[in-house]
Amino acid sequence: MQFALNYSPQAADALRDGALRIDRFKCPPWDDLTAEARIYKPIYIHFPLRTGALHKADWYAIERWMRDTDTPKVNVHLQVRAEDVAGAASTPDADFSAQVETVYRRDLETLTARFGAGNIVAENVPYGRKTEEKHILQASIDPALITRALDASGCGLLLDVSHATLTAFSLGIDALDYIAALPLERAGEVHLTGIREIDGVRRDHVAFTEPDFVRAEAALRLIKARGGNPWIVSCEYGGIGEKFEWRSEYDVIVHDCARLNTILTDVAL
């Protein structure tokens, strides 16, 4: 199993200083950013694919990125928006479970036909105030529905612990209970970040607090107990541009990655 971190100039500085230990940088499929990141470490690509919108995918570009960066798996975000289902835009709070499951099965079948089920990881998305503007249908985050779709397709799970935590908060349930309900035996990749309330909204991609570390370790131990086998665990703190300039601090990167390395050693996935 490998350990990765979002690429940022601050992370590159920490690597040059010998203060950071990672195997890869996690990057979006952006030419300039990936060229810079590859100076320091191997990279892998996190694709912006989502269910309900695969018609927008550039399959040849995805295949090129996988080949050129040795990215072994294609990720897809498990969400269906109101715009993807007939009639849902006018009644987004209705139960569209059947329609969401149909989209999941159809799109996962499309991906497996092209890349093979063993090369697909499907990511749970956050649900709540942060995503209301996207009109994500609530059935998208139903663990039973996700489990059925992944069992039917044979695809893996990309467990995003922070997404699961934000979703659980919105649903009024315990985060680890929600995580445990997901098909962790299929975990092929894991994402970790901190969570905190900013301007009245809980957000991820921030520095870890102690509860975040405890939750991350507990989730990794649940994966191990269920027989999950993630090829990589990624810390999603830091990045490029205005969106990340206030949350790409050198000291946070060094501290949080050191703590996560200790957790990964202790859990021994």
SS (H, E, C) 179-201: HHHCCHHHEEEEEECEEEEECCE
Q: Which of the following CATH numbers is that of domain 2-267: 3.40.50.960, 3.20.20.150, 3.20.20.70, 2.60.40.10?
A: 3.20.20.150
- In this prediction, residue 61 carries a pLDDT of 98
Q: pLDDT tens digits for 20-39? A: 999 999 999 999 999 999 99
Question: What pLDDT, on the 0 to 100 scale, is given for residue 132?
Answer: 54
Region 182-190: mean pLDDT is 98
- List pLDDT tens digits, range 125-156: 999 855 555 689 999 999 999 999 999 999 99
pLDDT for 244 equals 83
Average of per-residue pLDDT across 197-210 = 88
- 261 and 187 Cβ atoms separated by less than 8 Å: no
